[in-house]
Amino acid sequence: MDWKVTDREATGDVMLLPLWQSKSKAPHNSLNGLPRSTISNVKSALSGQRFNGKIGSTLSIWSDNCRVVLIGMGEVDELTHKTARDAGAKAIAGLSKKDGTDLTVRFTTGWNLEGMKWFVEGMMLRDYAFLKYRKKDREEAEEKGNWNLTIQASERYLTDLKADMKIVAARVDGVHLARDLGNEPPNHLYPMAYAERAQNWANGKKNVKVEVYDWERLQKEDMGGLINVGKGSSRKPCMVIFTVNPNVDPKAQVPCIVGKGITFDTGGISLKPGASMDEMKYDMHGAATVFGLMYALQASGHKGRVHGIACLAENMPSAEAYRPGDVIPTYSGKTIEVLNTDAEGRNVLADGLWKSGELNPAYVVDLATLTGAVVVALGHEATGLWSNNDDLQERIHKAGNEEDEIAWKMPLLPAFEKEMTGSKIADVRNLGKSRWGGSCTAAAFLKQFVPPRDFDEDNDQIPWAHLDIAGTAWGADTNAMVSHGATGIHVRTLHRLITQASSSN
Ligand code: BES
Ligand code: MN
Ligand code: ZN
């Protein structure tokens, strides 16, 4: 979507007019520049109560030169970020480029800066389709081109709105990149293909650095979690380490975000059943979010240093694959008893989390499509959020709420840790003793690989939070921001967390 911000003047092919409830008159300035016939149609629709402005209501008014879509926003003092984003998303979803691509959204009396940003963000987020492998649709979309959006507002908002919209658009691009990565089929996006994309992105940018630990390097580093999960595939595993603003405050403690990147999860020797196995191409969405976030931070001009680590592997059964019963080493020096090769995400994250400690992070957040159990617990409505630090957990929860990306607090109980460290043959087992609390035992496993500060056992663990996005990375039909496929979940949550936007936003 191309966009610009202007005063309320000319109109395009289509004009969106988001209006408040129970107003029988069009607000001051709302009809500037419209053809006379359209003005009288809009006025009569409002006075005759054909359109009442209730949330969710819309009315399309056609005339010769311009189509006007009235969008009900409910009561002005009841607007929330969710109603505004959802209305923007639904508005764009209801349009067709057949009616022209010059689109205007005109904000009138009662709209403030935040509200306008939310509405347009919803429009932009929803304006996405993955057409790469659909020849006809792709060609048609290329021919029609992007939406050409004019955002119209009262003059006093124009300067701020222009500046803020740049950041909104950068974040949306990051979300769309994460979706692109998530939606790529697993034969196209394998571990080293992700690494190449990351390197291509970094190429020529002075303020980002991407380092790739390939198969040989993983051996040198003894990253046994990644090696063992990935060795069953002919597409070998790797670790990708991102840094945004690598030269800023090299001594300062800054955030580090770690992502699970299983480019396809067959389950390995503990093979998954066939139904919906194709969806396991999304099993790298944690790593997709890491990349999307790095993109968004760089593109929005974030000044601080931030680290990202993507743990990439393909989990395949083969003569080379790791087995149930194996005891494997990890980067931390701790060993894992593999009881189920399908619990592979935690094995690769063990190496990523331990690696994060070397970057002296202020805090570490990992994202992973880790367990089916979290989908049983929370459905597709919320991500599970575990943490060893109440303050960090609360900050992530708050940031998620403000972005309409709910991260629900879940418990890290000592009993779960005991369960996962109860192996008779290794330091940690990769499977709970029963299937109950499966997402909590997985989180308790990860905690064993969060390093103490400076790797000194006398120090506390680094503040860490774990986001299990198995239910939110794809599949929510209640998520108005996306029609189907990968969601790009938590790019915005983490962008907000890291850029420390004030909680009133
Ligand atoms: N990637 C899956 C988790 C998953 C399942 C995500 C369904 C989204 C939808 C993960 O690697 C996995 O297989 N987890 C197992 C763990 C079990 C073996 C302890 C699971 O959830 O069944
Ligand atoms: Mn698995
Ligand atoms: Zn998996």
Q: How far is CA 310 from CA 175, 240, 293, 368, in A?
A: 16, 5, 12, 10
Cα torsion angle, 377, 383, 389, 392, sign: negative
231 in Cβ contact with 341 (< 8 Å): no
Provide the CATH topology of domain 176-499.
Aminopeptidase (3.40.630)
Query: What pLDDT digit, counting tens, does each position of 213-266 carry?
Result: 999 999 999 999 999 999 999 999 999 999 999 999 999 999 999 999 999 999
What is the residue-wise DSSP string for 26-78? --TTTTTT--HHHHHHHHHHHHTTS----TT-EEEEE-SS-EEEEEE---GGG
Mean pLDDT in the chain? 96
Domain residue extents for the chain: 2-153, 176-499
Report the nearest atom of ligand 1 relative to the CA of 315: 11
Query: What pLDDT digit, counting tens, does each position of 348-364 carry?
Result: 999 999 999 999 999 99
Element containing residue 238 per DSSP (H, E):
strand 238-244
> Which of 229, 371, 467 has most ligand 1 atoms within 8 Å of CB, for mutation?
371
- The CATH number of the structural domain formed by 2-153 is 3.40.220.10
pLDDT in the model for residue 10: 79
The mean pLDDT value for 462-469 works out to: 99
Out of 82, 138, 166, 272, the active site residue is: 272
- Of residues 34 and 451, more confidently modeled: 451
Query: What pLDDT digit, counting tens, does each position of 302-321 carry?
Result: 999 999 999 999 999 999 99
Catalytic residue status for 85: no
Among all bound ligands, the one having the nearest atom to the CA of 442 is: 1
Give the closest residue (by CA) to ligand 1 atom 13: 342
Closest CA to 346 of 316, 370, 365: 370
What separation in Å is there between the alpha carbon of 458 and the centre of ligand 3?
A: 33
Out of 231, 346, 447, 492, the active site residue is: 346
Which pLDDT band holds residue 468 (cuts at 50, 70, 90)? very high
Report the nearest atom of ligand 1 relative to the CA of 441: 19
Kindly tell me if the per-residue pLDDT of 28 is higher than 90. no
**Burial class, 437, CB count within 10 angstroms (exposed 0-12 / middle 13-18 / buried 19+):** buried
The mean pLDDT value for 281-301 works out to: 99
Question: Is the beta carbon of 468 within 6 A of some atom in ligand 1?
Answer: no
Which pairs with CB-CB distance under 8 Å and at least 24 residues apart come from 70-78?
70/17, 70/19, 70/42, 70/45, 70/46, 71/16, 71/17, 71/18, 71/19, 72/19, 72/21, 73/18, 73/19, 73/20, 73/21, 74/20, 74/21, 75/20, 75/21, 75/22, 76/20, 76/21, 76/110
Query: What whole-number percentage of the chain has pLDDT above 70?
Result: 99
Query: What pLDDT digit, counting tens, does each position of 163-201 carry?
Result: 999 999 999 999 999 999 999 999 999 999 999 999 999
Catalytic residue status for 36: no
C-alpha span between 79 and 111 (Å, rounded): 9
